[in-house]
Amino acid sequence: MRILIAEDDYASRKFLTNLLSEYGECDQVVDGMEATEAFYIALESKNPYTLVCLDIMMPKMDGFELCRKLKTDERTSHIPVVLLTARAESKDKIEGLETGADDYVVKPFSPRELTARIKAVLRRTRQPATDPPSNQAFQIDASRRRIFYFDTALDLSRYEYNLLKVLIRRPGHVFTRDHLMELAWDEPEASMDRTVDAHVKNIRAKLKSIKPDIDPIATHRGVGYALKEDL
């Protein structure tokens, strides 16, 4: 996943980058013109952005204008755009959504609120497809919500599937329990850290029933979990 963050305030830009870097690669720009240039360079390089987060009040080109530009271009209209702003009046929200924005988030917002809303946007705009093999051990069939482990289909619950899919897509990356809840649960605020632990325990048991001598999930004490890279 690749994210473009367009924000002219340094502190806000740093906050967003720190928050969203766990989701994937984040690029930062400080105004609308830089954002436009970065966006189309990425598009032409065949490595487009998966998500765009735009501050509205930016120099040279504001977030409204840039969002409208992206959403009226047939090559980029499917890419989700989230507008971030301190402008909370109804007329501003309406204008933002009329530009084609997928969500309009008013500052100040909590990290959990923003990540939950971004997750919802990505869920709504995701294109159904069959994922390529993530490594030699696992294969994800997203269209049927199935995961295969050494060519054997796993019998997973809804959240076991979501959780394992997150780990598989970024082998070696250490996810905190909070971040796993944000990515795998519909209502992460209603869950607790040990909920993740319980689901990981169940997933491990199902994996070991297929390959008893392999434990592909690494526990990082006091932090969270990662999928081992050397499978």
pLDDT digits (tens, 9 = 90+) for 33-85: 999 999 889 888 888 898 999 998 888 888 899 998 888 888 888 889 999 88
Which structural domains are found in the chain, ordered by start? 2-125 (3.40.50.2300), 138-227 (1.10.10.10)
Question: Using 50, 70 and 90 to split pLDDT, how confident is the model at 87?
Answer: confident
pLDDT digits (tens, 9 = 90+) for 97-147: 888 888 888 888 888 888 888 888 887 776 544 344 445 799 888 778 889
Q: Determine the Cα–Cα distance for residues 104 and 65; give it in Å rounded to an integer.
A: 14
Cβ atoms of 116 and 74 within 8 Å: the answer is no
Q: pTM for the full model?
A: 0.54
Q: Determine the Cα–Cα distance for residues 226 and 215; give it in Å rounded to an integer.
A: 11
Residues 6+ apart with CB under 8 A from 82: 51, 52, 53, 54, 101, 102, 103, 104, 105, 117, 118, 121
pLDDT digits (tens, 9 = 90+) for 196-212: 999 999 999 999 999 99
Q: Does residue 220 register a pLDDT over 80?
A: yes
